[in-house]
Amino acid sequence: MDSLISAVREQDEAARFLAWPGDFDLDRGDHVEEVHLASGAALEGFAGDGAGGTYFFCGEGGEERPILYADSEGGAALVAIGLPELLRLLLVAPWWRDCQAFTDEESRELAAEYLEDMPDLVARRERAAAALGLDLPDQADVLARLRKAAVRVGENFVLIFTPEGCPYEPLIRN
């Protein structure tokens, strides 16, 4: 497989898991508003979620580029450095948008809620990861990487609502 995007499209099991509970759809790459990066770097929407949020590749290159997520309410955050990292986040902690404190306890509580609704979540996640050739870190690691991307690296990736010149609000704060 030449790319992870192609792999997701070709691997039904992975695509189904990423669609739900991951809430990640490669056919929803158009953002509802005109936006740009404050730095002037390229911005390419490539996927979205059911609530109108969009995942963007930032800068030039391929799937290794930083990925910014913008919701439909004017919030944005750098969520991963490269598509493999994003897919690991969506596979391991599809509830990441509901995290406020990014603690192990909070993540375990959210995981328990998801497992209550989807008892086969872990087995489905394992099969999806195997289909994509991804190794999976634990929840604490994946959320720590998300927080580091959003808080440390993310300050260089400010999304601007173009018509008004206003920045989106950070989804993840220090």
Q: Token match 């390229």: residue?
A: 42
Structure confidence at residue 174 (pLDDT): 72
**pLDDT at residue 1 above 70?**
no
Q: Token match 């508003």: residue?
A: 33
Which of left, alpha, beta for 43 (phi over 0: left; psi -120 to 50: alpha)? beta
> What are the structural domain ranges in the chain?
4-170
Structure confidence at residue 2 (pLDDT): 67
pLDDT in tens, 40-99: 999 999 999 999 999 999 999 999 999 999 999 999 999 999 999 999 999 999 999 988
| Cα-Cα-Cα-Cα dihedral sign, residues 97, 119, 134, 103 | positive
Preceding peptide of 21 cis, ω within 30°: yes
Q: Above pLDDT 70, what percent of the chain?
A: 99
Structure confidence at residue 74 (pLDDT): 95
Q: Helix, strand or coil for residue 36?
A: strand
